[in-house]
Structure 1
Amino acid sequence: MSTATGTLGVWNIAAQEPERVALVDPDGRSIGYGDLAAKANAYARGLQALGLEAGDVVVVLQPNGDELVAAYFAAIQSGLYIVVVNWHLVAPEVAYILSDSGAKAFLAHERFADVAIAAADEAGIPERGRFAVGDVDGFRRIEELGSGEGDGRPERRTAGSPMLYTSGTTGRPKGVRRPLTGADPDSVPAASTWFFGIFGLAPHDAHVHLCGSPLYHTAVLNFVAISLQLGHTAVLMDRWDAEDMLRLIDRHRVTHSHMVPTQFRRLLALPDDVRAAYDLSSLRVMIHGAAPCPLEVKRRMLDWWGPVVTEYYAATEGGGTAISGEEWLKKPGSVGLPWPGSTIKILDDEGTELPAGETGTVYMKMGDSKFEYHKDRAKTDKARVGDLFTLGDVGHLDEDGYLFLHDRKADLIISGGVNIYPAEIEGELVMHPKIADVAVFGVPHEDWGEAIKAVVEPADGVEPSEELTAEILEYAASRLAKFKLPRSVDYLPELPRDPNGKLYKRKLRDPYWEGHRAP
């Protein structure tokens, strides 16, 4: 498969340009397309030798690195579903995913040995299906997967698919499973080039992608996989660090990345001389999503990096919006217009479409894309109205069709009959210089139903105190209407976020509602 700009597809590029750099591993090693494809072929042959057939599942518990990427492409050319597990989960949570997905093979890493062993035992994964990078008791070394099975591509090749599990902030996670297409794995899906085209990313074109977040996150995995399919080198970070990111951009002439607002805030916190020490002129599009970005943070990033900062709103289940830096300055706070082929509607609680300017639940769809939550038809149906589905976000469309998000419906505070959106309050408070992170939610109140609570992670070197609380509340009063002001402030050393910036707000909120009827 070729275009005017070059060959597409990992195996096609490997055949024509085996020395072309596909990956830069976190340890700085460069891995060519030829070596990456050879490792993916070996793993695919090994999985087929174990008896895995199209539609079966392989689960991976590994940090960012060439081993994980090779496992991904092994599944993608073998008709397998691949589940990349969040390595922050504890053993029973990993065991649940192994069991729920029906995993036939489990590829782990010695960094997570204790969790891998306990999870595999609990889920009953047979020893012949356990492999690990490094030494893990009861697991065969990953080098044995496919050894002795010959060379070249696996005998049976058909397109597989990632099967991503939702974050599970409200109950146990559910796998999002799409039907397999039966396509030739050498043929890059048109949707991949179309999706990158939304952000102005063309095949080849001297592109370099920087991956700074864990590959178990849906968007992060997609961006790396599509980058490689389109001939873009992918530079992998193991653990994200603000200055290290700037160093890698400078060194590898990075053109694009996928980021979250937490990373923006940490970059902005770097001293001016550190920020000025690196050449960032190679940047073309720095894409962010997954969590709300405070308006002031976005403005400061645009001031620093220029209009290369692009935002999107999307879902594992399909569909979304995007907005460029230039557009955002004209529509501050918007997450953009629908992607080509995507539909965005605002519905009320009865499923009736609302006009421009009115607030309701955001529903979307992507063409005729279909999905279901694995083994959970009830959850699938609950998220749908007709052929539209929702993530539970609240927002509105303006007269030009731009989407503005207000908050998660589940996070809405109703105090004295008034709807209050915590994200707006969080966006103001997080700009206080003594606040590193903040979460706002409702807590029980006898008269109002709910009162506004702020839980603050103080900035480095700042100690919680009554004086700090008074200072924060005074700051809030200068920026927010009285009915939006927190009635109390608590403190924690660190708020529970995943590495993609998503806040586990339920973990914070639930203890306050013990013994009460939660909204």
Structure 2
Amino acid sequence: MNESLLVNKNTYMYPLTINHWLTQHARFRPNHLAFVFGDTRLTFAELNRSVNRMANALAAAGIGKGDKVATVLPNSRELYETFWAVAKLGAVLVPMSPMVRGRGLVNLLNDADSGLVLTDMAHAPFLDGVRSDFLIPTANYWLTDGEQPGWQSYSVLWQAASDTEPPAPDLVSEDLYNIMYSSGTTGLPKGIMHSHFVRAMYGSLFANAYRIRPESVIMHSGSIVFNGAMLTFMPAMFIGCTYVLLKEFSVQPVLRTLASEEVTHTILVPTQLTACLQYPEFTINTLPTIEYILSVGSPLLSEQKEELIRRFPDTFYELYGLTEGFITVLDKTVSAQKTGSVGRPIWFSEMKIVNDDGQELPAGEVGEIIGRAPFMTSGYYKKPVQTVEALRNGWLYTGDLGYVDEDGYLFLAGRKKDLIISGGVNVYPKDIEEVIIRHPAVAEVAVFGIPHDDWGETPVAAVRLTAEATVDELRNWTNTTIEARYQKITAVMLVDEFPKNVAGKILKNELRELYFEQLKKPSNYP
């Protein structure tokens, strides 16, 4: 054997874990502003002491390496600090969407083997309603913002705990750090496992990709329980810059915060960007510190993308990715030239477009997107069958359709499950959406398929308007404007608001159900 390939048994392999990140910043950059939430402004030293109190309180409750800590919380200081307290203990964070209710809470909390749960007064009744079905010890129900029978006051526990460093766990890179449940737009949620190594890769690789540095100021207005938030959440702590968290997205608070905090980096999903673009002050001239706006969650339609690039030259990034861990990035240096693309794989990542037999397709041909990267999940928690289906020979099969151009840039065609097959022809909803959004009265659009006696399936467009227009006018305009006959829409459904999950993704299954409900009413939709 080649001796150069041998590793000396005395060589120290430094574990790539995230439990020490905050501690290091508190030691070497104690007075740098670390975290902002409302009126709360904490330096790294102050944040570290607060997180230590939480970690020590959790340890006193019996939480240690490998134990699962669940949260059912909106954005808050407590939710943010839980991410880092759990890391220090080597425990496993299970952040739940605060929109989950009833049996959903039971299924997910029990599926994750949760040993403790934190929530607030607003969400405690939903847990109390099904508490008898949980497996969590009675003393491990913590309330972050008040006191009531059956719940431990987190404030009291925090005050009583030491602010010194908790005992350091014996961690290795592969140790589990969090279980993130999928948003469930295409089926039942699954617990996606991420190790310390995966989150270390998020911190280092995305700090590089997004040009984040210690002087950066990152703002996040979406829920941090979703993996998309980790694209800047982890780099912020890895690099040691300021992280500004808003309670929720609302256009005016976002615009004020971007200006007042001199924000350099922010993530917005397409529906949020659409809302911001309605305001003329959303421009680089009034927000001159902005260096990076990332669109994530679902494809941003070309017209909106072009307007965003016009208002913020050399700042727009777009990302395509899955919580499971394959990601492409469209860099700001090419976003104006590749406006239809969602980028290419970042460092140490690979991508292929394959047909149903797994054979790689040439540039320009649509197939399933598969990829592999160092930040990929090890699988779905306690779901080996689904893990094997998604991860095959080291490649993640995304279930999404797309093609690459001659330069290797990825263009999305939609999800395989959203594909409309009309008369034997593949119809990609995104192609039709790109046309309809150009109508001056249309603010948002989503296209989905319905059964058709002759063609198998046919497209229907759900539309939210900003000006008056009839369904007949919109359908006729679309079918006149669209080039391919098989892309012509059968009907238009007007909606006041799109059904979306907390991550901002449009729920097309619910739109389809709404359409069929409307069909039952007289004089609705041909």
Q: TM-score, with normalisation over the residues of structure 1?
A: 0.89
Determine the structure 2 residue equivalent to 1:71: 82
The 5 A counterparts of 1:39-438 are 39-135=50-146, 136-145=148-157, 147-158=159-170, 161-179=177-195, 189=200, 192-202=203-213, 204=214, 206-270=215-279, 272=280, 274-275=281-282, 279-367=286-374, 369-438=376-445
Deviates more, 1:103-112 or 1:83-92: 83-92
Matched letter for residue 46 of structure 2: D
Q: 2:482 aligns with which of 459, 480, 484?
A: 480
The DSSP-based 3-state class of the residue aligned with 1:472 is helix
Matched letter for residue 174 of structure 1: K
Show CA shifts across 1:238-257 (max 9, x none): 12122322211111110001
Matched letter for residue 59 of structure 2: Q
**1:509 Cα offset (Å):** 2.5
Q: Name stretches of at least 5 consecutive residues in structure 2 with no aligned partner.
A: 1-19, 518-526
Count of residue correspondences: 492
**What is the distance in 2 between the residues matched to 1:29 and 1:368?**
32
**1:167 Cα offset (Å):** 1.1
Show CA shifts across 1:52-82 (max 9, x none): 2211110011121211111110111111110
Deviates more, 1:278-287 or 1:308-317: 278-287
The DSSP-based 3-state class of the residue aligned with 1:436 is strand
Q: Name stretches of at least 5 consecutive residues in structure 1 with no aligned partner.
A: 1-7, 515-519
Determine the structure 2 residue equivalent to 1:517: none
Matched letter for residue 226 of structure 2: H
Show CA shifts across 1:314-352 (max 9, x none): 222222211123312222211112111111001110111
**Structure 1 residues 137 and 455: alpha-carbon distance in aligned structure 2, compared to 1, 3 A threshold:** farther
Matched letter for residue 177 of structure 1: M
Q: TM-score, with normalisation over the residues of structure 2?
A: 0.88
**What is the distance in 2 between the residues matched to 1:144 and 1:225?**
29
Matched letter for residue 34 of structure 2: A
The DSSP-based 3-state class of the residue aligned with 2:333 is helix
The DSSP-based 3-state class of the residue aligned with 1:325 is coil
Equivalent residues of 2:421, 2:457 under 8 A apart: yes
Determine the structure 1 residue equivalent to 2:523: none
Equivalent residues of 1:36, 1:66 under 8 A apart: no
**What is the distance in 1 between the residues matched to 2:445 and 2:183?**
20
Equivalent residues of 2:206, 2:231 under 8 A apart: no
**What is the distance in 1 between the residues matched to 2:182 and 2:284?**
39
The DSSP-based 3-state class of the residue aligned with 1:240 is coil
Deviates more, 1:146-155 or 1:59-68: 146-155
Equivalent residues of 2:493, 2:515 under 8 A apart: no
**1:508 Cα offset (Å):** 2.3
**What is the distance in 2 between the residues matched to 1:452 and 1:242?**
32
Equivalent residues of 1:319, 1:339 under 8 A apart: no
**What is the distance in 1 between the residues matched to 2:511 and 2:237?**
39
The DSSP-based 3-state class of the residue aligned with 2:123 is helix
**Structure 1 residues 119 and 457: alpha-carbon distance in aligned structure 2, compared to 1, 3 A threshold:** farther
**1:369 Cα offset (Å):** 4.5
**1:137 Cα offset (Å):** 4.3
Determine the structure 1 residue equivalent to 2:493: 490
Matched letter for residue 406 of structure 2: E
Please say if 1:9 is aligned against 2:18: no
